[in-house]
């Protein structure tokens, strides 16, 4: 996070979320999932301060204020974490069964976004 804040105009960024290299950073649902699944606020949220964009109206002082960094990476033993569990994935057979019975579950065709999310 501090490396990002040290790069030219990226120093004006108020919030940085760091994820593992295999996470698609353009898929906000996946990034949000990683934040919810991998973040212990005590360990993984950093509050810092530094320069801000002069158009930012939120800080108490113009040009300078608080920043937040969130480490949503999967943690290893060196970071004091318990053994990290493997990610659970549905088999293709289970996905097929769920798709076949979707209407039976009462969710109907209007729940396509939910279906895509649950199929991860």
Q: How far apart are the first and last CA of the chain?
A: 28
The CA distance from 67 to 88, in Å, is 33
What token pair was written down for 31? 């990034």
Q: What is the pTM of this model?
A: 0.71
- Tens of pLDDT along the chain (120 residues) come to 999 999 999 999 999 999 999 999 999 989 999 999 999 999 999 999 999 998 888 888 999 999 999 999 998 888 877 887 888 888 899 888 887 887 787 766 556 666 566 655
Q: Which CATH architecture has domain 2-87?
A: 3-Layer(aba) Sandwich (3.40)
Residue 120 has what pLDDT? 55
The CA distance from 64 to 84, in Å, is 38
Residue 38 has what pLDDT? 92
The CA distance from 89 to 75, in Å, is 19
Residue 102 neighbours by CB distance under 10 Å:
16
Helix spans in 23-81 (H): 28-38, 41-44
- CA 38-24-75 angle, to 5 degrees, is 25
Instruction: For the chain, give every domain's residue range.
Output: 2-87, 89-120
């Amino acid at each position: 996070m501090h490396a990002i804040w040290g790069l030219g105009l990226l120093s004006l960024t108020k919030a940085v979320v760091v994820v593992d290299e295999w996470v698609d950073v353009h898929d906000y649902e996946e990034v949000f999932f990683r934040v919810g699944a991998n973040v212990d606020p005590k360990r993984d949220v950093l509050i810092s301060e530094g320069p801000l964009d002069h158009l930012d109206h939120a800080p108490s002082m113009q040009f300078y204020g608080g920043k937040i960094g969130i480490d949503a990476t999967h943690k290893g033993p060196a970071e004091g974490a318990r053994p990290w569990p493997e990610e659970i994935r549905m088999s293709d057979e289970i996905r097929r069964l769920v798709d076949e019975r979707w209407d039976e579950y009462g969710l109907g065709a209007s729940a396509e976004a939910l279906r895509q999310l649950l199929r991860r």
